[in-house]
Amino acid sequence: MAEAKLFLFHLLILLVGRGASGSSVAILSSPGSIDSRNPHVDLRIEQVRSSSLPHVHHHMDPSVIVFFFLEDLKQGNTLPIHFPKRGSNTSRMLPREEADSIPFSSRDLDYLLRLFSFRQGSPQAVAMEDTLRQCETRAIKGETKLCATSWESMLDFARTNLGRDLELKILSTIHLTRSNTLLQKYTVNGIDEITAGKMMACHTMPYPYGVLYCHYQKSPSKVFKVSLTGENGDKVEAVAVCHMDTSQWSHKHVAFEVLGIEPGSSPVCHFFPEDHFVMVA
């Protein structure tokens, strides 16, 4: 179950249309409270709260609460955000020579399950199959993507798309304090827009060894570093990306369900968990 929940979160960030389901999570705010500074907040919180009501059959998984509108990003605003906790068993990246010697294809799944001693239907097997399938899906219009199985292949992909002679900078979310709270309201304390001619996002994928789903989109995006303070005092220096053109996204993308909009009608922004990163040039 843990592997399945982890994989769900990765898919939400990867611009893939999927339905969402999950369990209830307590949110640090009083029931019925209204934040007049951000009218979008309460709908998202109530959608999550409804998961605890037995008569509600369609509810929202708390882990999808990472999407927001560009106009939400204002100092003093509050935003409900789900930040997953980084696992201690994060898979390590292999050297390129070793990674390239292992098949990486859904056609070889039976062989790979035997290689890594996972039984068919196990959570690990399901996560592996989903990762391979996600890596093999066709990129959307204007997007170039790669599932990198080594740091070397990731860097080659970055230089090809961002520029070989440009200085590359990696940005990632940093938790300055630690707690067991996954979902709560955060106050925006500071916003720093990162000037970048080009950007590439990379997301860790569940697999027996390190796999990074990296994608570069020609459509315009904005990158921000956002200082956040949670209601319980958690402090986060978060990376956020706003996609300015979503017209090529699937209508089934979970972001449209969370925000209640249609493809192309509004920019879509989302926060990054700490083990994902953005590379800018």
pTM, two decimals, is 0.79
Pairing of strands 199-205, 211-217: antiparallel
The structure tokens listed for 59 are 């509810």
Distance CA 75, CA 272 (A): 19
What pLDDT score was predicted for residue 75?
Answer: 96
Question: Which whole number is the average pLDDT over 55-83?
Answer: 84
| Angstrom distances, CA of residue 32 to CA of 37, 122, 203 | 15, 41, 35
Alpha-helical segments (H) within 14-121: 41-49, 96-100, 109-115
Distance CA 29, CA 202 (A): 32
The domain spans of the chain are 2-280
Question: Which whole number is the average pLDDT over 141-169?
Answer: 94
Of 29, 60, 67, 11, nearest in space to 231 by CA: 29
Question: Which whole number is the average pLDDT over 183-201?
Answer: 94
What pLDDT score was predicted for residue 31?
Answer: 34
Question: Which whole number is the average pLDDT over 51-77?
Answer: 75
Instruction: Please state, rounded to an integer, the average pLDDT across all residues of the chain.
Output: 83
Question: Which whole number is the average pLDDT over 17-43?
Answer: 40
Identify the band that residue 161 occupies on the pLDDT scale cut at 50, 70 and 90. very high
Q: CB under 8 Å to 136, separation ≥6 — which residues?
A: 105, 106
| Angstrom distances, CA of residue 19 to CA of 119, 261, 263, 265 | 26, 15, 16, 20
The structure tokens listed for 8 are 């769900």
Identify the band that residue 59 occupies on the pLDDT scale cut at 50, 70 and 90. low
Contact 236, 230 (CB under 8 A): yes
The residue type of 77 is: N
What is the signed CA dihedral for 9, 124, 214, 271, rounded to 10 degrees? 20
What pLDDT score was predicted for residue 11?
Answer: 42
Tokens 């409270």, residue located: 33
* 209-265 residue pLDDT tens: 999 999 999 889 999 999 999 999 999 999 999 999 999 898 889 999 899 999 999
Flag the least confident range among 41-45, 132-136, 197-201, 256-260. 41-45
Any idea what the Cα angle at residue 78 is, between residues 74 and 83, rounded to 5°? Answer: 110
Q: Which residue has the higher pLDDT, 136 or 51?
A: 136
Question: Which whole number is the average pLDDT over 34-45?
Answer: 50
Question: Which whole number is the average pLDDT over 33-41?
Answer: 46
What pLDDT score was predicted for residue 85?
Answer: 80
Contact 205, 10 (CB under 8 A): yes
